[in-house]
Amino acid sequence: MSRNPHDQFAKQFLEELLAPFGQVELSREILGESRWVDLWFQPVTQEFQPAAIDLGLLGRMTETPCLLGPYRNAPDFDDIRSCLSKLYAVIADQKRRDSSIQETDLPYLWILVPTVSEASWEYCGAVLEPTFPSGCYTLPRLFRTYIIAIHQLPKTSTTLWLRLLGKGRCQSEAIREVIALPNPAPRRDLALELLVNWKIALEILPQPPEDEDTVMALSQAYREWELKTIQIGEQRGIQIGEQRGLEQQRGMLLDLLRMELEIKFGEQGLALIPFLGEVEGLTDLYELLKAIKPMTTWEQMQDWWFDRLATMMAEGDRLDPWLGVALKLQFPEQDGAAIEALRQELSLLEWQDARRRLRTGN
């Protein structure tokens, strides 16, 4: 997962939208270069095309193979040059593989930016693309490159999925338009789920603060997503609906925990994930996500989890998964079989004896 929550949201969102219509690769490595393309898309061949790419302007952009480079902030000249160099590296690789490839079959580059200054347009030689809506610029034909200024796009349904990648008021308005879409709608639900992922990541990861409009819109998206989860439970039966909602939330929380644990504790932290995956209470996983942010030592995490374990014991909840996590925290060098054997042994002891064994290792 990307350390930048918005970058992760943008890539995942584009990947999910485009996956039904072709092959999507995130962070594709350029052969012979120590560089990566943000997102590479190659539509399926016409005879196997499942349906027209009904994504409005985004669909028109991706009718042919292309590279997509979303930016949270306005790129500088070096950023644009870097994008262009990646496009040329991809083209060079294709020509090495097939020297007969036609110019018309080469990929395009689409740079998605919130806004760009007038001086930047002139410096890049970019001009408005007459066959596309306002906000769409093209570089000289040789470069096979377009720049989409998201804040200049008209506020229509055809530009919605691109405006959702904007910033500030432009993005918050797009989020509210998504919420207002007819319900149920698959892409509405997809967008809400990824926006919720982004909101939670913003709460966990240290990032520059987002503007108030975006934060409020993300909170509204979160409330709408919660409502949708409840409605699924009501429509399909409480048990089935709750299970589906739990699975979605669990995957999201475990992904964020995996990232935090790897950053703070490396392989030792990652080894905790299988044990955390056994914990049934999503509230507990979410509380750990919030608590782990200021932690700097393994011992701090041990203390937090053992205190939580004592609360669980007092409330009479199921302790097996909690013991597994506690044991892995106490004995990180032990493998899964050894942890399971210790868990079975401790489950037979009185709580005070089990706690003493956990804390002392004897």
Per-residue pLDDT reduced to its tens digit, 169-219: 898 898 888 888 887 777 887 887 777 777 776 666 555 556 666 767 777
Question: Which of 212-216, 227-231, 291-295 is predicted least confidently?
Answer: 227-231
Query: What secondary structure does DSSP assign to 272-338, as a single string?
Result: THHHHTT---HHHHHHHHHHHTT--SHHHHHHHHHHHHHHHHHHT---HHHHHHHHHHH-TTS-HHH
**Beta-bridge mates of residue 145:** 109
User: For the segment 66-92, what is each residue's pLDDT rounded down to a tens digit?
Assistant: 999 999 888 889 999 999 998 998 999
Q: How confident is the model at residue 116, as a pLDDT?
A: 84
Position 286 confidence tier, pLDDT thresholds 50, 70, 90: confident
Top pLDDT among 33 and 308 is at 308
Residue 250 has pLDDT above 50, yes or no: yes
Residue 210 DSSP class? P
Q: What's the whole-number average pLDDT of the chain? A: 78
* pLDDT recorded at residue 52: 47
pLDDT tens digits for range 257-282: 888 888 888 888 888 888 888 887 77
pLDDT at 32 over 80: no
Note the pTM of the prediction, 2 decimals.
Answer: 0.60
Query: Residue 67 — φ and ψ, nearest 5°?
Result: -105, 140
Where is 344: in which H helix or E strand?
helix 336-346
What pLDDT sits at residue 201?
64
Which strand (E) or helix (H) includes residue 100?
Answer: none
Q: What is the pLDDT of residue 163?
A: 92
> Residue 111: pLDDT band by 50, 70, 90 thresholds?
very high
E strand intervals along the chain:
22-29, 36-43, 66-70, 108-113, 127-128, 136-138, 145-149
Structure tokens at 133: 């809506």
Does residue 144 contact residue 103 with C-beta atoms inside 8 Å?
A: no
**Backbone torsions φ then ψ of 128, nearest 5 degrees:** -60, 135
- Percent of the chain past pLDDT 70, that is, above it, reads 74
With a cut of 50, say whether residue 2 has pLDDT above it. Answer: no
Compute the half-sphere exposure of residue 159: CA atoms within 13 Å on the CB side of its CA: 21
d(CA 95, CA 99): 5
